[in-house]
Amino acid sequence: MKLKITTLVVLLALGSFSYAQTVDKIIDTYFENIGGADNFRALEGISMKASVNAQGMDIPLEMVQLKGGKQLVKFELQGKKLTQLAFDGEVAWGHNFMTMQAEKQDSIATENLKRLSGDFPDPFLDYKDKGYKAELVGDETVEGVECFKIKLTKKPTIVDDKEEEDVSFYFFDKENFVPIVMQSEIKTGQMKGMVSQSTFSDYEEVDGLYFPFSMMQGLKDQPGQTIKIESITLNPEVDKLEFVFPEE
Amino acid sequence: MKKILFIIIALGAFTYAQAQDDIVLSGKELFGSITARQIGPALMSGRITDLVGHPTNDKVLYVGAAGGGIWRSVDGGSSFNSIFDKHTQSIGALAIDPKNPDMVIWAGTGETWTRNSTSVGDGLYKTTDGGSNWQKVGFDGVDLRISSIQINPNNTDEVYVGVLGPLWGDSDKRGVYKTNDGGKTWEKLLAGKPDVGCSDLILDPNDPTILYAAFWQFRRTAWSFNSGGENSALYKSTDSGKTWNKIHNGFPKGDLGRFAIAIAPSNSTILYAAVEAKEGKGLYKSTDAGKSWEYLNKDFGLVVRPFYFSRIVVDPRNPDILLKGGLFGSISQDGGKTFKGMGRMHADIHDYWFDIHNSERLYAATDGGLYRSWNRGTTMEMVNDLPLSQFYHISVDNAEPYNIYGGLQDNGSWYGPSSSPGGIEARDWNSVGYGDGFRVYRHPEKNIIYSEMQGAQGVWRYDVEKNKTSDVKPFQEEGQPKLRFNWNAAMALSPTSPDRFYLASQFLHKSDDMGSNWKIISPDLTTNDPAKQNQEESGGISQDNSGAENHCTIFTISESPLDENIIWVGTDDGNVQVTQDGGANWINVIANIPDLPKNTWCYQVAASNFKKGSAYAVFEGHTTNDNATYLYKTTDFGKTWVSLVKDNINGFARSIQEDYESENLLFLGTEFGLYATIDGGDHWSKFTNNMPATAVHSIALQRKTSDLVLGTHGRGVIIIDNISPLRALSQEVLRKDVYFFDSKPYVMKEESGFGGGSNGSQFIGRNPSRSAQIVYYLKKRHTFGKMNIDIQDANGNKVTSIDAVKQKGINIAKWNYNMKAPKVAKGKTFSFGGFASPRVPAGTYKVVMTKGKKTYTKDIEVQYDPKSGLSSEDRKLQQETMMKLYNMTQELAYMVYELDETIDYATKVATANPKSKKKATVLTNDLNSLKETLVITTGDNYVGSAEDQLREKISNLYSVIVSNYDRPSNSQLANLKVITKRFNEAKEEFSRIKNKQVGKLEKSAFSVQMEALKVKPYDEFID
């Protein structure tokens, strides 16, 4: 009987503890747990080697993100490297799959990328300075785990011809205070209105900082596709030309 | 102590320690990644109750459904997404905040079109983030129907709500309410009476201090309906609801029924009211803001079934154009003097919405979904993306893939497949009955389908092959009283005798020849209460004897799968009767059931699969305003019963399904969703993985696939594929860090067909995965450190890796039986055939999970599709041919790699040692000439493609062999010979060039201290 009561007390205490959390406490604990906010602030960039499994093929990916919003996603198919997305801060582009030539993204998509340029290395880092808003909206069980549900509102995003709120929901595991799921509404295209979901796992340390080495992406409640990260390099040396649209 | 524990279970969020320290998983922890699949259909859609559009963006439209929740379109109705899945799916009224229309939406739950089968609501909700999250902001209580939400456009925190209240009992919550603080607090402005609620409330858009409120006296019981009385009235307030006056000047005297009211948005002095009355019923118009009323019209379309159709919508720009809901819908273009019918659409129109910019464009909400018109209702087109179908019952057959059969509210009877090429499309569904459909069964052996329509007016035996239908319903015979059939008349198949077919009135009718001949095998098993059999008097002011109120009937039948002489029946007036001798003697066991109010409707009785004396009985009393959950089990033929209900089950229940293999695994369908227990009812968990909180009217369990199939009343058919892991959850399993569930051998399906012809705006139901479902339990969610899953063959060679799922609880990882795709030679363009991955041969494979430093393994068995008809010799030839081409693809890739490296080397040597330039050039030219025959070196991936070379020739044949589940043809084998010859010649040519020239070039390299040509070995390159 004694044991039972103790268990209950602990559980009840945990329960009430969770409600006492504020969003900033959660975010602060998160950065403490993954290596310290200062260390993330000092990051200039990261590059990742990864792969995604598509119909039995392991497609190698190379991703680079730099402070200020420059980014690059390249993949390799049958020995050929193609750029899915490159952004030099002004122009976003990628290779057309048919012609394998570089083509610019439309101006709205590019503008929306510009607005996310403060996301590196983590949208929650100094989120208030970026003009973002974070709110603890409740508790929810996802992936079988009790989580804090945090609503993050970034700078408005442009949808067709007008601005809309850019909202995403992050689910922070109550045990480890790291996000394990992120959901957001798809704003454009045929899937507009549906909810996209990313799950994060396999957090591992890289030079003192923790990153999720596995990300499953897809639609909420439907099977997704996993990006497996093989290695991460902090502050990598990169050829800046790789980000720039190749004029003929 | 017990109580506290109970609270924790009810919270559903904790894993707690019981006396024996049992691990109990609940909710998402238990079900893990077992996820429901919503397959619609949407071709007949379902009842829509309320429509509302965005005030400034004409592409945004919200649909409130009778049992299917709230859906939003952002493209003028081409496509929809549901935004209210976590809450009750019965919608009464919707409203959009005019000042913040993208974010703030109000939803009043509880349908107000009060038919017998209507679902219930549970309060008023509000979202402030565009529908991602909803909060309940008042009027909590089951069956509290909300008829109207009116927002002051100048101050949107000021909101008025009309509460119609419960359909089935008294309530003191009915009336008109107001909040001044966005829903935090509410004030009652105008009270109703125990049986009089606010059925409509409108705010003058041009002067928001003016309100009109219609009050309606009404009551429904299981056996009657009453609309009207002395307290039905229309009121007006001109001081924001502080004071109210009845405005009946010109209306008929005496008892009145339900009002439909509308104000012309372009001229607030003009009002329309459809009035239900014995004398003087019809449409009235006021041109002085309600001071007086002029009687205009009593066309059928204006007076038909007011309880079901009381909505008038006025064109926002023209006060003379108005639409009236009704059986077919009516439109007036002369201020209500005359009406014509709307264009052809599904019957029973409940609401309309005019486009904000163009009144020609409008929408109609019907019993069969949403319709859109581009010409003010002259022609209507159906929106094809709303899977709101309202099933009363469903069943499954034993075909592969199995079919699902069911009947729908006002939408007939249908069957369709659980899987179809390209997804389950509208065209996959087949009609097998008219009217309202209910129970539909497929003969266990023959291609015969039984279906029915309301009140057993038709009971059909349909021979699918002959396309021949016979109505086989039994008629009254000499010496028999009139037969009483329920609206939703009980039918059942026998689990023991394929040609046997049961049908029930107040008697149980049995046929052993598929309905051709009937025998009554029981006395009247109901209470036969004459007070509940006066349906011709039903309706109140407007007679409404549709058959929907037929009562004192048998509602559910279950023959024991263990003994054909044991038959259970349950009646709508609260009897449970059992016979153990095939109907000669019946015992009414209802008195033995504890804590059950008398005369509570027995919705389902189900004989157990495990013990002759065991059965389950589900009761629901919502038609007497009792919304409790009732589920009982007996193990002694009904002498004693135990309740299996726990406090965390929400909603009255209608359906129970016992597993075929584990007696403790039960599924319960309630008004608000699906619940499951793995311990015989000690603990229940709500299933919410892609499962809306919709009313689950009927459950079936497919024996071969262990798929749980749900007939929902508003969200169509929902399937939970393969629930077998729930059978294997034991305390022993739950204590393990990782546990792989056993599986039957996996069958590699070898079907391939054509489908996917639906356009982008048609609903398509998702197919089940054909991959091997590798099911495992994780005690903890995997968040830190690496976790991977590989598949190895019997010799421990890695075949491929698959995506691991890492939730706490049950996880399903999928393997599509393919090995890794071959490494393909690099060319200028892609070789599309080379993207194909070959299937593995049948056999034993090992699943290897690496999780942190630990490794867990499980052997699995993979089989060929027994239906394919291929001999083992054919398969061997296919496998050999496929692997020859697979290996050739990779060898060619290596050759091209080596060739490219050699060219690269030659260039470097020529630079370092200019004397070697000529040698290098000759070598490079020779290699490039060879390469041009190996891979495409020009063009693009579309119509600029170049002539196929060896790589393309190999992959073209390879991809055909890989995707054909067949013996390679002579033509294919002959082609293989040609390709092999050419490949061998290429290899020889490459060797010749290398042998003759590379050594010489290396010498030039050595002379400038360069190393020899270095290439990766084959295995390293391929890996």
**DSSP sequence for A213-230:** EEEEEEETTS--EEEEEE
pLDDT for residue B15 is more than 60: no
B725 touches chain A (CB under 8 A): no
> In this complex, how many residue pairs, one in chain A and one in chain B, have their CB atoms less than 8 Å apart?
158
Provide the pLDDT for residue B940: 77
Q: C-alpha angle with apex B569: B565 to B573, nearest 5 degrees?
A: 160
Residue B898 has pLDDT above 80, yes or no: yes
Determine the residue among A51, A57, A78, A226 to mutate to test chain B binding: the one whose Cβ has the most chain B Cβ atoms within 10 Å. A78
The percentage of chain B sitting over the pLDDT mark of 90, rounded to a whole number, equals 90
pLDDT band at A222 (very low <50, low <70, confident <90, very high): confident
A142 close contact with B: CB closer than 8 A: yes
Round to whole Å and give the CA distance between B462 and B452. Answer: 11
Q: How far is B750 from chain A (nearest CA, A)?
A: 17
Mean pLDDT of B283-311: 97
Residue B6 has pLDDT above 60, yes or no: no
**Inter-residue contact B135 to B104 (CB < 8 Å):** no
Say whether residue B831 is in contact with chain A using an 8 A CB cutoff: yes
Residue B10: the pLDDT is: 36
- pLDDT for the residue numbered B579: 98
Chain B: residue whose CA lies nearest to A201? B783
| Residue-wise pLDDT tens digits, B548-557 | 899 999 999 9
User: Please, is B201 exposed, middle or buried when counting C-beta atoms within 10 Å of its C-beta (0-12, 13-18, 19+)?
Assistant: buried
CA B500, CA B567: separation in Å to the nearest integer?
13
The percent of residues in chain B predicted with pLDDT above 70, rounded, is 98
B32 touches chain A (CB under 8 A): yes
User: Would you state the pLDDT for residue A11?
Assistant: 39
**Taking the CB of residue B596, how many other CB atoms lie within 10 A of it?**
22
Selected residues 63-102 of chain A with any CB under 8 Å from a CB in chain B: 77-80, 97-100
For chain A, domain boundaries? 23-243
Q: Token digits for B637?
A: 């033929």
Interface of A with B in 31-60 (CB under 8 A): 53, 55-58
CB A66 within 8 A of CB A44: yes
What would the pLDDT profile of B129-172 be if each residue is shown by its tens digit? 899 899 999 999 888 899 999 999 999 999 999 999 999 999 99
What does each C-alpha distance from B962 to B772, B826, B832 come to in angstroms?
18, 21, 13
Q: Which residue in B has a C-alpha nearest to residue A168's C-alpha?
A: B132
Proportion of chain A above pLDDT 70, given as a percent:
92
Residue B832 is predicted with a pLDDT of: 87
pLDDT of A223 above 90: no
CB B196 within 8 A of CB B159: no
Q: Which residues of A touch B27 (CB under 8 A)?
A: 141
pLDDT of residue B28: 80
Distance from CA of A237 to the nearest CA of B (A): 25
- The answer to whether B949 contacts chain A (CB < 8 Å) is no
**A7/B contact by beta carbon, under 8 A:** yes
- pLDDT tens readout for residues B733-785: 999 999 999 999 999 998 888 887 777 789 999 999 999 999 999 999 999 99
Mean pLDDT of B712-730: 95
Least confident of A184-193, B732-741, B828-837, B1011-1020: A184-193
Nearest chain A residue (CA) to B852: A202
Q: Any chain B CB within 8 A of the CB of A157?
A: no
Report the complex ipTM.
0.88
Q: DSSP 3-state assignment of B353?
A: strand
Greater pLDDT, B411 or B546: B411
Q: Mean per-residue pLDDT for A118-143?
A: 94
Asked if the bond preceding A121 is cis, omega within 30° of 0, the reply is yes
DSSP sequence for B715-746: S-EEEE---HHHHT--HHHHTSSEEEPP-PPE
Is the CB of B821 less than 8 angstroms away from the CB of A180?
no
Residues 6 or more apart whose Cβ sits within 8 Å of residue B561: B495, B496, B607, B609
Cα–Cα dist B925/B929, whole Å: 6
Quick one: average pLDDT of B91-114? 97
Cα–Cα distances in angstroms (integers) from residue B948 to residues A39, B169, B185, B831, B945, in the given order: 54, 78, 75, 9, 9
Q: What rounded mean pLDDT belongs to chain B?
A: 94
Residue B675: per-residue pLDDT: 98
**DSSP reduced 3-state for B928:** helix
Q: What is the pLDDT of residue A58?
A: 86
pTM (two decimals): 0.92
What was the pLDDT predicted at B18?
41
d(CA B472, CA B486): 17
Question: B1019: how many CB neighbours lie within 10 A of its CB?
Answer: 8
Question: Is the model's pLDDT at B914 over the cut of 70?
Answer: yes
The residue-averaged pLDDT of B790-818 equals 94
Pick the closest to residue A164 from B57, B355, B53, B127 (CA basis): B57
Q: What are B936-963's pLDDT values in tens digits?
A: 888 877 777 778 899 999 999 999 999 9
Cβ proximity of B657 and B708 under 8 Å: yes
Q: Do A78 and B834 touch (CB under 8 A)?
A: yes
B813-849: pLDDT as tens digits:
999 999 999 999 998 888 888 889 999 999 999 999 9
| Residue B309 tokens, joined | 């159709």
Average pLDDT rounded to a whole number, residues B869-894: 95
B252 touches chain A (CB under 8 A): no
Distance of alpha carbon B28 from alpha carbon B717, whole angstroms: 21
**Closest C-alpha to B455, from B470, B434, B441:** B434
Q: Is the Cβ of B853 closer than 8 Å to some Cβ of chain A? A: no
Nearest to A202 among B787, B814, B836 (CB): B787
Q: Which spans in B17-152 are helix H?
A: 28-31
pLDDT at A12 > cutoff 80: no
In this predicted structure, what is the pLDDT of residue B14?
Answer: 36
Per-residue model confidence (pLDDT) at position B564: 98
Amino acid B400: pLDDT: 92
* Band (A161; pLDDT cuts 50, 70, 90): confident
What is the C-alpha separation between B659 and B706, in angstroms, rounded? 9
Coil/strand/helix, residue A30: helix
DSSP letters for B371-387? EEESSTTSS-EE-S---
Q: Report residue B20's pLDDT band, with 50, 70 and 90 as the boundaries.
A: low
Give the chain A residue whose CA is nearest to the CA of B75.
A192
**Superfamily holding A23-243:** Lipoprotein localisation LolA/LolB/LppX (2.50.20.10)
pLDDT tier, A5 (very low <50, low <70, confident <90, very high otherwise)? very low
Query: Can you list the domains of chain B with their CATH numbers?
Result: 746-753+763-868 (2.60.40), 873-1022 (no CATH)
What digits encode the pLDDT tens for the residues B375-385?
A: 999 999 999 99
What pLDDT is attached to residue A17?
44
Measure the CA–CA gap between B780 and B737, rounded to whole angstroms: 7
What is the pLDDT averaged over residues B430-435?
Answer: 96
Query: Would you tell me which residues 89-128 of chain B have a C-beta closer than 8 angstroms to some C-beta of chain A?
Result: 102-103
